[in-house]
Amino acid sequence: MANAQPMPAVLEETSATIGLRAIRNPRAEEELVCILAYKNQTPITQSGKLHLFYNQKSYKNEHFTFQEARKHYGEREEQDIITYINNKPDININGWASLNNISNWYDISLPDQDPNAALNNLKTIYKNSKSWSFNGLQAGEERNLFISLHATNEMLADTNAIITITGLFISDDQRVVEEYIMEMEIVASHDPNYIAVSQRRMNFRRIRNKDLEYKVHFQNNGEGPASTVQITCDVPNGLNMIELEVIDLYPTCLLCPDQPVNWSCLDTSFQEDKIIFTFKNIYLPGTRQEGVNDRDSTKGFVKYRLIPSKKIRKLSLDTRASIVFDKNPPIITNRTATHFKPGISPGIMAGLNIFPDNPQQNYYNIGVSLAPFKPYKRFFQIELWTGFPSASITQENTFQDSTSIWERIQGTIIVVDSVYTTMQQTTQNPLYFNVIPLQIRKNFTDWLSAGVGALVNIELQRDQITEEITLERKVYRSPEPNIDIPREQMQPLTDLFTRQTSTSSNNVKDWLFHAAFFADFQLGMVRQGPALGLRGVLPLEKERNWYVSLFASWKL
């Protein structure tokens, strides 16, 4: 019954094959009903596929969930998007002789694009899709498919963003491949006067290759027609309004020339941080005007494009519009904003840690950092450093002990001195790690940055201990019964001297953890590029001394 009722025009052009129309702009937690119209513009009966693509990948949140499709001509839902196989008949060159015959002309016609290329392109843009097959579409016949989508609650995060839903028509003979893009604005309420933007979140690293499209909608709710509509739009700091491009407008008219004219036109002028669009000499009916039944005729819009300036800063791009109908009080629209994604900016660092109280502890270190890309507000940064001592430290300790024994052999006193010599050699080769899990920084200018935070110093003590023990036995003949006389007065028995040496080695590893606070500043291209920094570190343990770090960094 719904399909039998008079329908609003969905196909914008008489020659169009496919069109989409929504009953209103989407709003979170509401049902959105779309009409998908398709028509056979060829001279032969057609069968083929209809595809609906929704939920753009450029937005983090999914805006719609599919509810149902109300079909009235036996369309069948397909489970998967079909990859088309080329089954076109060979083109008959002799058909060129009969171009006045439309059926022969269709035999040699070619589509504007390859069906697989069209499908693959839309797959890269959208997350979700639905497909239906149809049959028996007669020449000149137009059909309607009614589709219900539920707007998710996550849609609120992208209020005032411009989104799209795309329909694709592919005939089974692949001679007709046509798509239609329906553009809508996410609204928080169904106020007819509002402004929307094409991107709610953008990547700042690639901002040079992007632009922003704004669309201001208005509706005359007066009792009579409006002949002048003035729209004043704020231009966010960072967008170049001199290179303004008007993309579309309604009521449809030309741009105003320099000299005054009596016909309908759109005039553009500039003030400080503002663009003023003025529809002049138009006829825009009012909703309360007698005899006006089509509310769409009371609406208008202007759509324009702005590109980023060379010195754009990574701050939100906020804007709103003021709409004046003739000499009535201005209507202030909602505020819409484009935010920049944090992005990731890795960095490499190298420096020297200097201990004023103990220069032998000085060591070089290298590190990496991770922070948002080109921030203009306070931001968090994490760092990981590793350091090596300037040289290994070797300590030697020598211990000596001796014992003496004597005995009388055949009236001769024999003295044996046993001398034990122990030498310990300790080689220290530590490895340092500095982890900075918490750091708050701010770039005050493009050339000055400062930060404070906490770090954890992890020290791996690697000690190699080598111990060498030497035993020497020296034998003397003493002429007197007292062994305490100097050994020089005794007769050494050199052939009885002995020497024995034993060596052992041991590796010892120990992990030490220390916490500290630090503060630093950097000079250079602190947002992106090279910079030099000076950092003071204060350990929490009283027995550990403070030190400073001189370092260079490069943010990518």
Q: Residues 44-89: pLDDT tens digits?
A: 999 999 999 999 998 888 999 999 999 999 999 987 665 555 544 4
Average pLDDT, the chain: 84
Instruction: Tell me whether residue 7 is in a domain.
Output: no
Q: Are 195 and 334 in contact (CB under 8 A)?
A: yes
Domain that holds residue 336: 194-340
Indicate whether 25 and 115 sit together in one domain: yes
Are 427 and 279 contained in the same domain?
Answer: no
Return all residues near 312 (Cβ < 8 A) that are at least 6 apart: 207, 238, 239
Lateral strand order in the sheet of 64-70:
18-22, 31-39, 142-151, 64-70
Q: Are residues 389 and 482 in the same domain?
A: yes
Q: Are the CB atoms for 289 and 224 separated by under 8 Å?
A: yes
* Averaged pLDDT, 352-357: 88
Asked whether residue 251 falls in the same domain as residue 125, the answer is no
The CATH number for 206's domain is 2.60.40.740
CA dist., res. 433 & res. 365, Å (int): 9
Lateral strand order in the sheet of 239-250: 194-197, 212-219, 299-308, 239-250
Clarify whether residues 300 and 360 are in a common domain: no
**Using CA atoms, how far apart are residues 267 and 244, in angstroms rounded to an integer?**
13
**Number of Cβ atoms within 10 Å of the Cβ of 552:** 15
Structural domain includes residue 209:
yes
Same domain as 398, residue 284:
no
User: If we measure between CA atoms, which residue out of 362, 363, 352, 359 comes closest to residue 551?
Assistant: 352
Task: Enter the pTM of the model.
Answer: 0.66
pLDDT tens digits, 214-253? 999 999 988 889 999 999 999 999 898 888 999 999 999 9
What pLDDT shows up at residue 398? 65
Q: Is residue 8 part of a domain?
A: no
> Is residue 4 assigned to a domain?
no
**pLDDT (tens digit, 9 = 90+) per residue, 104-141?**
445 445 566 788 889 999 999 999 999 999 999 999 99
At residue 35, what is the residue type? I
For the chain, how many structural domains are there in total? Answer: 3
Q: Are residues 56 and 145 in the same domain?
A: yes
Look up the CATH number of the domain holding residue 22. 2.60.40.10
Specify the pLDDT at position 110.
Answer: 57
The last residue of a domain, from among 286, 316, 340: 340
Tell me: the pLDDT tens digits for 173-202?
888 999 999 988 888 777 789 999 988 888
336 and 419 belong to one structural domain: no
Residue finishing a domain among 310, 340, 370 = 340
| Integer Cα distance of 134 and 32 in angstroms | 24
Is residue 147 predicted with pLDDT exceeding 80? yes
3-state SS, one letter per residue, for 49-99: EEEEEEEECCCCCCCEEEEEEECCCCCEEECCCCCCCCCCCCCCHHHHHHC
Task: Considering only CA atoms, give the Rg of the chain.
Answer: 43
Does some domain include residue 310?
Answer: yes
Q: Are residues 322 and 411 in the same domain?
A: no
% of residues, the chain, pLDDT over 70? 87
Q: Look at residue 406 and tell me if it is in a domain.
A: yes
Say if residue 320 is in the same domain as residue 413: no
Q: How far is CA 168 from CA 79, 84, 116, 178, 367, in A?
A: 16, 13, 11, 6, 52
In a domain, 502, yes or no: yes
CA–CA gap between residue 205 and residue 319 (Å, rounded): 22
Q: Which of the listed residues 312, 340, 368 is the one where a domain comes to its end?
A: 340
Q: Are residues 548 and 410 in the same domain?
A: yes
d(CA 266, CA 256): 5
Q: Please check the confidence at residue 500 and state whether its pLDDT lies above 80.
A: no
Do the domain assignments include residue 412? Answer: yes
Residue 287 tokens, joined: 């909703």
pLDDT digits (tens, 9 = 90+) for 95-105: 333 344 444 44
Same structural domain, 58 and 160: yes
